[in-house]
Structure 1
Amino acid sequence: MNGNGNGHRSAGGNGHRPAKLRGYSAWSLVQHGLTRGDWPRTWHDHDLRDSYDVVIIGGGVHGLATAYYLARDHGITNVAVLEKAYIGSGGSGRNTAILRSNYLTPEGVRFYDRSVKLYENLAADLNFNVMFSQRGHLTLAHNDASLRTMRWRSEVNKHEGVDSDVIGPDEVKGLVPYLDTSPDTRYPILGALYHPPGGIVRHDAVVWGYARGADAHGVHIHQQTEVTGIDVSHGRVSGVQTTRGRIATRAVVNCTAGWATLISDMAGVSMPVQTFPLQAAVTEPVKPFLDTVVVSGTLHVYVSQTDRGELVFGASVDPFASYSIRGSLEFTEGVAGHVLELMPALAKMRLLRQWAGLCDMTPDYSPIMGPTPVEGFYVDVGWGTYGFKAGPVSGEAMAATVAHGRPPEIIAAFGLDRFADGRLVGEKGAAAVGH
């Protein structure tokens, strides 16, 4: 399924900018809308080659971003992105698209801050409106222990140059007047970690933008192409088996989120990852009133409002490992009750739909990135609930890893070998909601 874009593809590059994509005038847009004229393809269908320099498994934001930066920054354009369904059909299309960098560990803060900075310029970089709205991010504290954690995170953030501070109930009320900040509630709001650079983005626009950018640089995007095996000979990757035939390659990047362990097992690489469903829901649209993202770890809920007026709700991962992406009544009842604890005025709003995605959880709640014991097999997995916000920096870092054969400093702490060496990067305290 190819998306519709707003520019023509042309050959050639422009330094570190994507290949030039000619835009439409306002009048030509009206003409296209009235006449239903044929729009140019945002990305293109290609025959599957017998070999590629790099094969990326997973057509979500991580896989597409890796392909884009491989081509743009390193000139490696003989790249295939393989997606068993359609691009963005996995975790990239089943998330709440919240962006932030107010994490707990110095390694995590530096990493996610780089991603936020890339997001800030992504629309201009890709010449595609990704609808990034930096509206601020509030993590509420309902007890003394939570407040201490917020102060701890705030100090780590400030030390790494990230805008983040603890504010009191009055300031919280000023930012979100509809929050119940009275002291008589069941879960009183004692304060919050306020992170102004945080916000939301249009997740499908990010996927389409990276797909168009990668395609413009010559990358082949193959949808409806499922990987069935990975060939390993004498300790290194030699090819990939797919439902459309075999591809010879000496570099494979696993960017498959919830299916990470199944793909890694094909290469003989064991991953300390479990897959859990993560559910979300959206309401009917109403007049915009919620300017910031609001998170409560105690109540296991977070809420933001889209530009169209819907409220998007999320919660913690389901308490059991599964590959199910069906919603549950238990989630709906729980998230509705918790939201009403925070904002009772929403009682009459109606939920329109709910969905679930798959989260690949590691023991320390940090990703696994970089090379593996199988030469030429790289992983970008273990994202849990953090994956979408890390798309740009992950693509940039994994592209550098493949191009140079070693991970850059920004992801050095996230290697697979840390579990054997006991060098964990514990980010559970910075989870948006409890896990």
Structure 2
Amino acid sequence: MGVTIDREGHEHPGFLWRNPEPAKAYDVVIVGGGGHGLATAYYLARNHGITNVAVLERGWLAGGNMARNTTLIRSNYLWDESAAIYEHSLKLWEGLEDDLGYPILFSQRGVLNLAHTEQDVRDSVRRVEANKLNGIDAEWLGPDEVVKICPIVNVSAQIRYPVQGATYQPRAGIAKHDYVAWGFARRADEAGVDLVQDCEVTGFTVDGDRVTGVRTTRGEIACGTVALCAAGHTSVLLDHLGVRAPLQSHPLQALVSELLEPVHPTIVMSNAVHVYVSQAHKGELVMGAGIDAYNGYGRRGAFHIIERQMAAAVELFPVFARAHLLRTWAGIVDVTPDASPIVGHTPYENVFVNAGWGTGGFKATPGIGWCYAHTIAQGEPHPYVAPFGLGRFATGALVDEHGAAAVAH
């Protein structure tokens, strides 16, 4: 498992990272030990030399949404602002394994976003042209070309929603989510960052327009800067500070099949039947759909959602009709009114927020880690996240990705 070095230079063989007691004070406290929090800590150390940092995780590292997503990575978003941050992230993904020195099983197998109606076709072609203007690889394919990319897709004219074509991004892909988190955690730990597990933040100590410390289940910790990275529980933390943000938390369900022979060469997403399907490295099918309509923090599957996902998957892929469902789960996603994230300043001078990624958080992991670290270190938003400040909900300068981002992903 390798060797980690603590702050005093002592070696700890056999561990992926240290499990330290929290110190009394840090320059930066990151609340949330998922992919975004770990990536932010890593880039604070790597890009800015800031290592007196703690990542506080109420459970175990990467045990929240990072362990519960469907691992899709793409950048083919409609609006310039969204395309910029996701393309920045995809470029980092392409070199991340070498950067971290850790295998993440990044597989650029491409993504097909199916179009089933004339309006789907118009919207899809518009998105392809917008992607090209932003330097993002994107193509429009007819049904015959779709089958060449993914032979098992049902393009029959006799089904409920016949496939009229698809957008295709060849550089899209998947990665092993656990490995990604472990890679960031190892490198952050080696840089001297404290990764503190079983440490829930229960409140804050406030002095005027600054936060001077965080109250946790493991004692109070003084801090110079607080960076929130808690996904679906961000609104709970902001409530402690008296800050209202336009965030709603919803369960997002997914499921996997038994192990199958490699038959699915790419990622296929469909908004009309509302399912997306890829095949993981071991062979299981990974399937997901949209968020549950209700607000909640449950991490369970619900039969009516599972039934619709399976029906949609079988409609698009008849070859999977006899596959067995292995397990289901849900993550807690945080959704904003314009389906775009919130990144940047809060009303408190030294508190920053990174939230509202909805169903797109995993693919943004290295990109938002890079940009959030810059924002924290410089005290000003990185240009890629500047459009996503909390203030846009007062000015009306929204970045509305409803529908343009296709299906939940």
Please give the range of the TM-score, normalised by the shorter of the 2 chains: over 0.9
**What is the alpha-carbon distance in structure 1 between the residues aligned to residue 359 and residue 212 of structure 2?**
32
Matches within 5 A, 1:125-164: 125-164=99-138
Q: 212-221 vs 181-190, which deviates more?
A: 181-190
How many Å apart are 1:266 and its aligned residue?
1.4
Residues 62-94 of structure 1 show CA distances to partners (whole Å, capped at 9, x for unaligned) of: 000010000111111000000000011111111
Q: 1:251 to 1:301 in 2, by over 3 A?
A: same
Residues 21-44 of structure 1 show CA distances to partners (whole Å, capped at 9, x for unaligned) of: 9xxxxxxxxxxxxxxxx9621110
Q: Are residue 406 (structure 1) and residue 380 (structure 2) matched?
A: yes
Identity of aligned residues (%): 49
Q: Are residue 341 (structure 1) and residue 297 (structure 2) matched?
A: no
Q: Are residue 382 (structure 1) and residue 356 (structure 2) matched?
A: yes
The answer to whether the 8 A contact 2:189-2:195 is kept is yes
Q: Are residue 272 (structure 1) and residue 246 (structure 2) matched?
A: yes
Match of 1:202 among 157, 176, 189: 176
Matched residue of 2:33: which SS? coil
Gaps of 5+ in 2: none
Q: TM-score, normalised by structure 2?
A: 0.97
The answer to whether the 8 A contact 1:112-1:389 is kept is yes
How many Å apart are 1:268 and its aligned residue?
2.1
User: Which residue of 2 is the match for residue 247 of structure 1?
Assistant: 221
Q: TM-score, normalised by structure 1?
A: 0.91
Matched residue of 2:59: which SS? coil
Matched residue of 1:241: which SS? strand
Per residue, is there more strand in 1 or in 2? 2
Equivalent residue letter for 1:271: A
**What is the alpha-carbon distance in structure 1 between the residues aligned to residue 153 and residue 133 of structure 2?**
30
How many Å apart are 1:112 and its aligned residue?
0.1
Matched residue of 2:159: which SS? coil
Matched residue of 2:23: which SS? coil
Equivalent residue letter for 1:231: T
How many Å apart are 1:10 and its aligned residue?
5.3
How many Å apart are 1:431 and its aligned residue?
2.7
**What is the alpha-carbon distance in structure 2 between the residues aligned to residue 220 and residue 434 of structure 1?**
34
**What is the alpha-carbon distance in structure 2 between the residues aligned to residue 430 and residue 309 of structure 1?**
30
Matches within 5 A, 1:225-236: 225-236=199-210
Q: 1:50 to 1:11 in 2, by over 3 A?
A: closer
Q: Are residue 325 (structure 1) and residue 320 (structure 2) matched?
A: no
How many Å apart are 1:11 and its aligned residue?
8.2
User: Which residue of 1 is the match for residue 47 of structure 2?
Assistant: 73
Q: 1:298 to 1:39 in 2, by over 3 A?
A: farther
How many Å apart are 1:410 and its aligned residue?
0.8
Match of 1:89 among 63, 66, 91: 63
The answer to whether the 8 A contact 1:102-1:430 is kept is no
**What is the alpha-carbon distance in structure 2 between the residues aligned to residue 83 and residue 195 of structure 1?**
35
User: Which residue of 1 is the match for residue 146 of structure 2?
Assistant: 172
**What is the alpha-carbon distance in structure 2 between the residues aligned to residue 403 and residue 204 of structure 1?**
27
The answer to whether the 8 A contact 1:104-1:429 is kept is no
Match of 1:355 among 314, 329, 332: 329
How many Å apart are 1:111 and its aligned residue?
0.7
Q: 1:236 to 1:11 in 2, by over 3 A?
A: closer
Alignment coverage as a number of residue pairs: 407
